[in-house]
Structure 1
Amino acid sequence: MSRRKMIYEGKAKILYEGPEPGTLVQYFKDDATAFNAEKMDVIDGKGALNNRLSEFFMKGLMQIGVPTHFIKRLNMREQLIRQVEIIPLEVIVRNVAAGSISKRLGIEEGTQLPRPIVEFSYKDDALGDPLVPEEYIIAFGWASQQDLDDIVSLALRVNDFMSGVMMAVGIKLVDFKIEIGRVWEGDFQRLIVADEISPDSCRLWDVETGEKLDKDVFRRDLGNLADAYTEVARRLGVLPVNGPQPGKPTLVN
């Protein structure tokens, strides 16, 4: 990687100054973290897989009219993206009870929810990304009521798209989280999907077996994380069916 100005480093990605004003280069790391980085490891090939999978999902969303920050993939680990003002919220969409909602409400994991549920958490690792109601979001000025209405609409459109794509390859979309960014076009604000969409940010279960194909494999010590992500990529056609072992994935252009 050539020497560039680093803008931000997170748990799974690094953002560098882009080649043009209003752009950034997003680099996907092999680092795996869980429980707010209390558990950490390096998974060979994970960054390349997430880069390619996020490209696949972002392109698909744009094809159905959902705006995203994605511009193009640059190489195995990097993509060119629009620079946005990130709203300090994680937007969580749940279709099936799993993880924290099961613990909070005592709902058995795997229970189908009556409808998709959209939740918001405040992005702050030191606080553990606490859930926040819409009243807090509006009161503290993180987003307006109109912003929240637009965010929920975007999140549900992403859910419809992702659920259909996954079900077509025998995978159940249990839940996922996205981030939303603001961009300005003249005097007008536009909200777009930002960050990434990958098995790092989704819960994905095999429809037939219930096998987990997401970061819960790492969180719960259920096997090899690269194997799980590679299986998702192969089913979606991102990797060749008879490709190499997941440690060193070969990606399809």
Structure 2
Amino acid sequence: MIMKMSSFGYVENSVRQIIVEIINEIIKEENLPFERADSDVKLEGPKKSPNFADIVLWKKGGVLQQAALVIELKQPMYNPLDEEIVEKTFLYAAILGAPYFATSNMQNIVLFSSSENVPLMDRRKGFYKISSIARPSDLRREDVKKEMKNGLRNFLLKFTEIYSGKQVLPTIPVDEFFVYTLRTLVDSLSTPLTDAIIKAFNTDAVFKRGFQNWFVEQGWTPPLNERYYDDFNRSARQYLYLLANKLMFYLVLKTHVP
């Protein structure tokens, strides 16, 4: 397997390979119209240094010739709707001739059409939740791997319907797109914020006491140490949603009040 140099949002090779193995298991179990998925597919282009597509799904009988889908995989802390990531993945899909491409942060995956004749970020999109993973290395745990497989199975079944022409990518209303975007942003930011909260909890006695008191005020049992990860993550997500509400209120106020 060709190794790829570390880069922005890089997911280590072994973890990416686990996801490819899961996809290939699903292809066989569901008898999907794809030959297999490969990782780190070398792209031939004008640059001297070759690029590599993270994951490529090949059409049945078309390995290394007919790509059905190109997936760019980033760490959970990154937003799969980041315009730079979307543009790069679209370019990779164009080089491989894939009719669809997707961006993913291992929590969510966003599906795009390669051929829709509108600006990239305005295209119809499919949003799919595939896991609640916090770190790429967690995929080595069986419970996390099982959750990921269930999420990828749902995505691949939906993608097969779209790829075969039985369904089309949805046109998402503005309000629903906003909800999807907000949820995706919270998912991507919650992990680094959770890590920051845990660090402060372990090193700042005043913060720890105030944090535990806040849990009691919410009617929750306060965490005792960092092994209570879900409790720290829940507080991080609540903070992010409250912050988003305040920002939206400010923007609405700014729009209507001179």
Using structure 2 for the length normalisation, give the TM-score: 0.24
Q: Flag the structure with higher strand content.
A: 1
Q: Flag the structure with higher helix content.
A: 2
By relative contact order (CA 8 Å, sep 6+), the higher-ranking structure is 1
Whichever of the two has the greater Rg, that structure is 2
Using structure 1 for the length normalisation, give the TM-score: 0.25
